[in-house]
A and B are shown apart, each in its own frame.
Chain A
Amino acid sequence: MGMTLAERILAKAAGRQEVSAGEFVVADIDLALLHDIFAAQVFDMLGEVGVDRVSDPDKVVVVIDHLVPAPSAEAAALHQRIRKHVARAGIKAFYDAGEGICHQLLPERGHVRPGMLIVGTDSHTTTYGALGAGGTGIGTSDMVYALATGRLWFRVPETVRFEMFGELAPWVSWKDVILHLAGRFGADAAQYRAMEFGGPAVKSADMSSRLTVANMAVEMGAKFGLFAADEITDAYLRDHGGVGAEPFGPDQDADYEAVHEILLSALPPQVAMPHEVDRVGSIVDVEGLRIDQAFIGSCTNGRIEDLRVAADVLRGKQIASGVRLLVVPASRRVLQEALDSGVLATLVDAGASVLPPGCGPCFGGHGGLLAPGERCIGTHNRNFVGRMGSTDAEIYLGSPATVAASALAGHLADPRHLEVTNA
């Protein structure tokens, strides 16, 4: 029997010819990611267990991205501790405050390659599946074990495959696709399982779109959200780090728990409604609801492609009065590219506030939180109660086009109704 992508990745990491779903394996970790919320704690815990060095510092990446710039003296002190730990551990791949979000930086700076097994102290580590890598979130204790030994136990997951057909309509994006899947199949549809995305429509999905989809696979419970590595992956890798990659995909006769066929052609823009990511509907059903804040950013949709779409919507126009539009580029490179290409000027001219590269208000720490009774639409990945400040605020999730259109209108708005000038 052939292997799914998840089985191929875990077989390789476990040093085995073949593994199949349901087995437990002890696997070698190719890359471990820590960010500022948990990094200092993990290093402290390592010390408490009596481990004075990580098993391979070259397989560790540390990113300061959540509390950026430090919103308090405590956060600043946390960052200080992280810098000391990183220097002491001899970790070279360290991205300090302002470089960007971990899940943008790892692909962008060439750390991720097809077939790798990557663990991170962050649930959105599934993002690396966009490049055919098995990325998954773990807690701090498991991370301590992984850093100490270079290995970790895994249950080989069953795989649910999504075959995508058709072409997306104008102003509809892969963010709408993954929101649609969450709504249609549910927040636990891929619980303990891997998701594999394939089919003809995926061939035309650029890397930015694949990163968005793989990022949100975890919102359906997935352990991995995987795309086969193809010529788009190869081109992305050449552009980001220099060395391309051979195709890497599942075997033809792989065994799937389920295969779903999804037609994209008739899909309208989607929004997730408060307070669950799988409470999803068409923008048409909620159009007109007044908003206080619009947020474009996050590891889901803070890339240059996303900012460009927003700029196309907002060019030459002004956002509605009473609406705060926050734009948070996912990395310094994204910010630089937006600056050089004029995208940033377009957004600022339209009334956007630009925040430094990082997680921004997405996880509710700082940088644009919500008051009781306020409503926000963002391009991020979670709309849980209290996620962005008050527990009495409402968060909607949508694509960059939908969020920009809503900022312009002052209420939830369908980007397909826009008249775009000078695009």
Chain B
Amino acid sequence: MPEDRFAGRVWGFDDDINTDALSPGQYAVDPVEVRKLHVLESVNPSFASEVAQGDVIVAGRNFGCGSSRETAVENLKALGVACVVAESFGRIFMRNAIALGLPVVVCAGIRGVFEDGDRIEVDLATGRIVNVGSGSELRGDALPAEMLEILEAGGILAVLRKQRGG
């Protein structure tokens, strides 16, 4: 079950990072152990090998645009990414993140405030975001209660299990 607050090291990405970059088509039906090695290789070839448990992605507009492939989210989780904060998200990516229990926050102006390696603090319930080094503080959109509820349950399948009394 994800917590509501995170602190982590930042990986920065620009606008329009698409699902082909997050989960390349030629590995579509490979297991996650293979897929995760190719995450964002067309954008930042060192990301997949150097990203560590608890790291946070800070991105520009339209992060995760493109296809419906849930592997885009699953791959990031498998690499240990704790949270993604972006100016905006591709709709299905955001939906899939909620469904898989990966915290996401929409925050205008976020990309200009963080560099690779900065430390970030994120409070999901309030949307408060802090750059620990510079002290800059931004206010992202707090997630709607309906989405936070699924996220806090650990994803849509955890909700389903609960509804079925499992």
Contact = CB atoms under 8 A, between A and B. Distances in A.
Contacts of A38: 69-70
A78 B41 CA distance: 26
Interface stretch (A228-236, A245-253, A322-330, A383-391): A383-391
Interface residues on B, range: 35 or more
Contacts of A222: 91
Contact of A138 (B16, B28, B92): B92
B21 A75 contact: no
A139 B73 contact: yes
Looking at B70, B144, B159, the one whose CB has the most chain A CB atoms below 10 A away is B70
B96 interface: yes
Contacts, number: 128
B29 A139 contact: no
Interface string B17-59: 0101100111011000000000001100000000000000000
Contacts of B66: 123, 382, 384
Nearest to B166: A50
Contacts of B146: 24, 153, 155
A222 B156 CA distance: 22
Interface residues on A, range: 35 or more
Interface stretch (A93-101, A142-150, A158-166, A402-410): A142-150
Contact of A49 (B18, B94, B144, B160): B160
B62 interface: yes
A123 B21 contact: no
B90 interface: yes
Contact of A144 (B28, B160, B163): B160
Looking at B16, B89, B144, B163, the one whose CB has the most chain A CB atoms below 10 A away is B16
Given A123-B92, A145-B99, 5 more contacts: A37-B29, A141-B99, A155-B146, A363-B25, A386-B20
29 contacts: A24-B146, A38-B69, A49-B157, A50-B161, A50-B166, A51-B160, A67-B29, A78-B29, A121-B68, A122-B67, A137-B68, A137-B92, A138-B68, A138-B96, A139-B95, A139-B99, A141-B96, A141-B156, A142-B96, A142-B99, A149-B160, A149-B163, A187-B65, A363-B67, A364-B25, A385-B42, A386-B20, A386-B24, A387-B20
